């Protein structure tokens, strides 16, 4: 399937074939492509919790308006933003090796660290900025996850997360991880949701101003 065919063939699954299992290997292949997603300063905010356990999946279903496809999906994947991504220990994990391997020189490294510190301070200085930045980054990541899944023959459906506090407690999600959305994944049943109306390009794109 070429890229155009891949994009066109992705639909949000109406329902999944029950009892289709996905292995950690299946997920690793998907994540090896997903990890190439762009992110602000390459800080890679996205963190995933893959839930394949049947009992745990049922608990997510209870917390998600009992949407049936969570029951039939091979897994439900909670997509989270990692608030620690802008903290220096995490930043250094990404940029430290580049300095060590001399891909980045001392000056370039120092300037990059200063720039990222300023960016991080800006995000922390206003209450919603970090949440918005995480939603931006996680959304792009999640889209690539869904396309990568399709590439390997799996169907998906993006969903909101509900009852985040209960979800956090149930799965002992640490405070620095913020659930942003979730994705059900598996093999879609034959019934494909007909493509919802899409606005014509001219309606949602302006060139060179309004
Ligand atoms: C943030 C978000 C939340 C969504 N929540 C649900 C949901 O709870 N249940 C569902 O069946 N589809 C959900 N969808 C899928 C949309 O309904 C779907 O993307 C849209 O109708 C377009 O269809 P398509 O993805 O097949 O092109 C959600 C999509 C997004 C982006």
Cα 10 to ligand 1 centroid, rounded to whole Å: 12
Q: Is the CB of 12 under 6 A from ligand 1?
A: yes
Q: In the predicted model, what is the mean pLDDT of residues 11-28?
A: 97
Q: Is the CB of 153 under 6 A from ligand 1?
A: no
Q: Which whole-number Å values give the CA distances from 101 to 1, 104, 108, 178, 194, in the listed order?
A: 38, 8, 13, 33, 51
Does residue 44 contact residue 140 with C-beta atoms inside 8 Å? no
Query: What integer best gives the mean pLDDT of the chain?
Result: 96
Q: Is the CB of 30 under 6 A from ligand 1?
A: no
Give me the domains of the chain, ranges plus CATH numbers: 3-204 (3.40.109.10)
Q: Is the CB of 11 under 6 A from ligand 1?
A: yes
Sorted by sequence, the CB contacts under 8 Å of residue 210 that are 6+ apart come out as none
**Looking at the predicted structure, is the pLDDT value of residue 131 above 80?**
yes
Nearest atom in ligand 1 to the alpha carbon of residue 13 is 26
Q: How high is the pLDDT of residue 191?
A: 79
How do strand 75-82 and strand 155-159 relate by DSSP bridges? unpaired
Q: In the predicted model, what is the mean pLDDT of residues 5-28?
A: 97
Residue 99 has, within 13 A of its CA and on its CB side, a CA count of 14
Cα 142 to ligand 1 centroid, rounded to whole Å: 13
**Percentage of the chain modeled with pLDDT above 70:** 100
Q: In whole angstroms, what is the distance from residue 67 CA to residue 193 CA?
A: 16
How confident is the model over 53-112, as pLDDT tens digits? Answer: 999 999 999 999 999 999 999 999 999 999 999 999 999 999 999 999 999 999 999 999
Q: Which of 76, 136, 158 to mutate to test the pocket of ligand 1 (most atoms within 8 A of CB)?
A: 158
How do strand 75-82 and strand 177-186 relate by DSSP bridges? antiparallel
Give the sheet arrangement for strand 177-186, strand by strand: 46-51, 75-82, 177-186, 155-159
Cβ neighbours of 121 (radius 10 Å): 10
Does residue 179 contact residue 111 with C-beta atoms inside 8 Å? no
Quick one: pLDDT band at residue 143, thresholds 50, 70, 90? very high
Q: How high is the pLDDT of residue 198?
A: 97
Nearest atom in ligand 1 to the alpha carbon of residue 11 is 26
pTM for the full model?
0.96
Q: How high is the pLDDT of residue 192?
A: 77
Q: How high is the pLDDT of residue 19?
A: 94
Q: Which one-letter DSSP state was computed for residue 197?
A: P
Q: Is the CB of 124 under 6 A from ligand 1?
A: no
Q: How high is the pLDDT of residue 37?
A: 98
Beta bridge partners of 48: 79
Q: Is the CB of 147 under 6 A from ligand 1?
A: no
Sorted by sequence, the CB contacts under 8 Å of residue 98 that are 6+ apart come out as 104, 109
Cβ neighbours of 110 (radius 10 Å): 12
């Amino acid at each position: 399937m070429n890229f155009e065919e891949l994009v066109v063939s992705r639909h949000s699954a109406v329902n999944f074939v029950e009892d289709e299992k996905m292995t950690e290997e299946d997920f690793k292949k998907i994540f090896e492509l997903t990890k190439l997603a762009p992110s602000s300063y390459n800080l890679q905010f996205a963190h995933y919790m893959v839930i394949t356990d049947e009992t745990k999946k049922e608990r997510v279903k209870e917390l998600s308006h009992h949407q049936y496809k969570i029951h039939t999906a091979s897994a439900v994947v909670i997509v989270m933003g990692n608030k620690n991504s802008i903290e220096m220990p995490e930043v250094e994990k990404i940029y430290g090796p580049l300095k060590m391997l001399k891909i980045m020189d001392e000056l370039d490294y120092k300037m990059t660290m200063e720039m990222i510190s300023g960016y991080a301070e800006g995000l922390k200085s206003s209450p919603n900025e970090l949440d918005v930045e995480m939603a931006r980054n996680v959304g792009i990541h999640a889209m690539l996850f869904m396309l990568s899944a399709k590439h390997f023959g799996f169907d998906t459906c993006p969903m909101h997360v509900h009852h985040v506090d209960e979800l956090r407690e149930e799965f002992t999600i640490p405070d620095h991880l913020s659930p942003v959305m979730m994705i059900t994944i598996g093999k879609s049943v034959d019934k494909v949701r007909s493509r919802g109306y899409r606005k014509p390009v001219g309606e949602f794109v302006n060139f060179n101003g309004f």
